A and B are shown apart, each in its own frame.
Chain A
Amino acid sequence: MIVAVAEDSGGAERARPWIEASHAEYLCLVDAEHRISDLYGLVNVPQAVWIDERGLIVRPPENPGWTDDWRHNAGALAEMSAEERKTRGRLMTPEQAAARDAGRLAYMDALEDWVHTGRHELARDAARRALPALTPEIAQAQAHFRLGVWLRCHGRAAEGDRHLAEAHRQHPESWTIWRQSAELAQAGGASGTEFLKRMAALGDKPYYPAPGLPGFGAQGGEENPGSGR
C-alpha cells in the first residue's frame, strides 16, 4: 500500500493540482500541519518509511532514491533570474539526468523486492540505529514551527515568522522547516534564489543522502538477510 503525504501548510488546495495530475491510484493524504515530519523526525521531502504488516518500522526515514546530481548546478542557478531558471531547467547534463533516473529506478526495484520477498528490511537493532536524531532543540523547533504555521494561516504573519525563524534556528538541518517557512513568506520562496544559495553552500554534504540499498554505491546498508520473520 502506497501512502503519499503532502507536507503542505497550504492544505488540500495547494496539493490538489499535483495529486489530480498524477492520476494516483494509491492513497494521497494532505498534512497541512506537517504531522508526519513531526512524528517520524523527517527533515526533507521526499522521505519515505517502510512499515510492515504488523505496523513496525522496518526501514526508518530515508531519501527514496533521489540523487544529488543536479545539486552541483545550484550555485549557477542561484545567479540566474527566476525567469531564466524556468527556461534553463536545472542545467542537467545527459549524464546527470541518467544518474538521477537510475537512482529512482534502483529504489523502485528495492521497494518491489521488499513487497514480494521481504528483502531489505533492517534488523531491529540496525533499524534503531538508523532512526533520526531527536534532541530537545528539535522538539522545541517542532513546537515553534507548529505555532508559526498556525499564526501565519490565521493572518498573523509577523508573529508567525518569529516562531518560524526560531524553529529554523533550533533545527537548522530541517530543510522542510526552512522551505515551508520560505514558501509561506513568499510564493516560490521554497525553491528561489535563497534556497539555491543554501543548497550550493552545502559543499560536500549531501542534500539527499543515499539510501543504504543496492545501486547506491558504497553505502551498502545494514540489511537483515533473513528478514527476521
Chain B
Amino acid sequence: MTATVLTQEGEFTVDATDGLLLTPAELQRVTGWSLKPEGLCRDEVCVPMPEALHAGRVDVAAFWQRLGNPVLADDSRTTWVLGAGAQARREALDSLQAPEFELPDLDGRPHRLSDLRGKKVFLATWASW
C-alpha cells in the first residue's frame, strides 16, 4: 500500500504495510535512521528496539514515538506526520546553529540556507493573507 509521510525535511511517498511498517531502506530514506545489528541508528546514536521489527520491516510509528516525537495519521492511516518532539527542537535551537532548510523561489528553484554561509543573513517571514 502506498502511504505519504510528512516530516520536517519534506513529503515522502512510501510503500507501507499495516500502518507504517517500512523496509529498512525506506526508513533510512525518510528519517535518516538505519537498521543495524545493535538497533536503529543515526550518527553515533543507536536505539535497541527489537519489538519494532516485524518480518523485516520496521514499525516506524512506534519507533518515532519511542524517540519522544509526535506521530499522527489521517483517518485512513495512509498519510502520516513524523514530527519533531520538544526536546529535539530545544536541542536544535540551543546550539544556535540556524536550522537548515531548502525552499523554492517563485520559479520552483530550490535554495538552501547553507548556500549562504559566509554572508550575514536576514531571514524574515511574511504572508499574503
Chain A residues engaging chain B, CB cutoff 8 angstroms: 1-8, 10, 12, 14-20, 27-31, 33, 35-42, 45-58, 60, 64, 111, 114-115, 124, 127-128, 131-132, 134-136, 138-140, 142-144, 146-147, 150-151, 156, 159, 163, 176, 179-180, 183, 189-191
B interface: dominant SS: mixed
Given A39-B101, A41-B93, A53-B117; A47-B124 close (CB under 8 Å)? yes
Give the A-B pair count, Cβ closer than 8 A.
193
Whether B99 pairs with A10 at a CB distance below 8 angstroms is no
Whether B96 pairs with A128 at a CB distance below 8 angstroms is yes
What distance in Å separates the Cβ of A198 from its nearest Cβ neighbour in chain B?
15
Size bracket of the B interface: 35 or more
Q: Say which residue of B74, B94, B125 sits within 8 Å of A36 (CB atoms).
A: B125
Whether A143 pairs with B125 at a CB distance below 8 angstroms is no
Whether B123 pairs with A150 at a CB distance below 8 angstroms is no
Whether A142 pairs with B83 at a CB distance below 8 angstroms is yes
For A156, the chain B residues whose CB sits under 8 A away are 74
B85-129 CB contacts (< 8 Å) to partner A: 85-86, 89-90, 92-94, 96-99, 101, 103-106, 108, 111, 113-114, 116-129
A150 vs B4: C-alpha distance in the bound complex, in angstroms? 10
Whether B124 pairs with A147 at a CB distance below 8 angstroms is no
Whether A47 pairs with B125 at a CB distance below 8 angstroms is yes
Whether A190 pairs with B129 at a CB distance below 8 angstroms is yes
For B84, the chain A residues whose CB sits under 8 A away are 38, 139, 142
What distance in Å separates the Cβ of B7 from its nearest Cβ neighbour in chain A?
9
Given A42-B125, A183-B129; A134-B111 close (CB under 8 Å)? no
Whether B121 pairs with A6 at a CB distance below 8 angstroms is no
Q: Say which residue of B75, B79, B85, B121 sits within 8 Å of A51 (CB atoms).
A: B121
Most buried by A among B8, B83, B96, B129: B129
For B116, the chain A residues whose CB sits under 8 A away are 1, 3
